Amino acid sequence: MLVKIDLHNHSCLSPCGSDDLTPALLSVEAMEQGIQILALTDHNCTRNLPAFAEACELCNLMGLYGIEVNTVEDVHVLVLFEKLQDAMEFGSFIEFLLPPIYNKPNLFGMQNIVNLEGEIIGTVDKLLISTSGISFNDVIEEGLSRDALVIPAHIDRNANSALANLGFLPDLPYSAVEAIRVPVAADIHGKTLLTGSDAHYLQHVGRRACYLEIPTLTFAGLKQGLASGKVSYTHP
């Protein structure tokens, strides 16, 4: 089966994300666009994933519980879990590794934890766009050891990417690779190349969704689909 997927999106928890982009609005917008597999991947934090899980359930989406980790090299990596609880544990681990630098909301933006209704139920004090204390290699290894999907994010971006910050994409067992523009002028070691919306505003949701052939609409099916790599970037 061919599914529309979008594995890179933020919410109002990310300081650079719009305060209006709640997990519920993200999910509803994705559903309206026919996206079937959707991930929420806030910067270095998973605390909006419980609301996202409820929203995906209501919208009949297959949700992936994710985080966009900022490594010590300042490279962004998506780590995506099948189970909410596993993602929450990994999120606590990453948040703990963030330096004691605190957010200045009027400078960087709010870091709001919200419920399904979009009501603010808390805020995160540590600045979530800081560089965490985990290396690129270690986040790949740690994610895979926890049975997550690991995807270097926007490798062709001119900042916070493997190509910009490392100069190349190391040959590691990624689940897939994400770029903004395809094809990408880099050796991606035969991995499947995805595009993701990296939505920070409601109007960005779905802007770079892509289509993947998978055997079943399950986490295992998604893994198999990523391994066989039948992807298209426009509706076939």
The residues of the shown chain that bind Zn ion, judged by CB under 5 A, are 68, 76, 153, 198
Q: Which residue, 44 or 214, is less far from Zn ion as judged by CB?
A: 44
Task: Report the nearest approach of Zn ion to the CB of residue 236 (Å).
Answer: 26
Dihedral in degrees, nearest 10, Cα atoms 131, 135, 138, 139: 30
In this complex, which beta carbon is closest to Zn ion, that of residue 74 or of residue 213? Answer: 74
Cα-Cα-Cα-Cα dihedral of 10, 16, 19, 22, to 10°? 10
Could you tell me which residues come within 8 angstroms of residue 91 by beta carbon, excluding any fewer than 6 positions away? Answer: 45, 46, 47, 49, 67
Distance CA 143, CA 150 (A): 6
Residue closer to Zn ion (CB basis): 14 or 192:
14
Paired sense of beta strands 149-152 and 2-6, if any: unpaired
C-beta of 9: minimal distance to Zn ion in Å?
Answer: 8
Chain centroid, CA 188 distance in Å: 19
Asked whether the beta carbons of 69 and 76 are under 8 A apart, the reply is yes
- Quickly count: other Cβ atoms within 10 Å of residue 236's Cβ: 8
- Helix or strand or coil: residue 130? coil
Which residue in the shown chain puts its C-beta closest to Zn ion?
Answer: 76
Supply the minimum distance, in Å, between the C-beta of residue 15 and Zn ion.
12
CB of 220 vs Zn ion, minimal distance in Å = 25
Q: Residue 47 or 76: which CB sits closer to Zn ion?
A: 76
User: How many Cα atoms are found within 13 Å in the side-chain-facing hemisphere of 197?
Assistant: 31
Q: How far is the CB of 19 from Zn ion (least distance, A)?
A: 17
CB nearer to Zn ion: pick between 124 and 214:
124
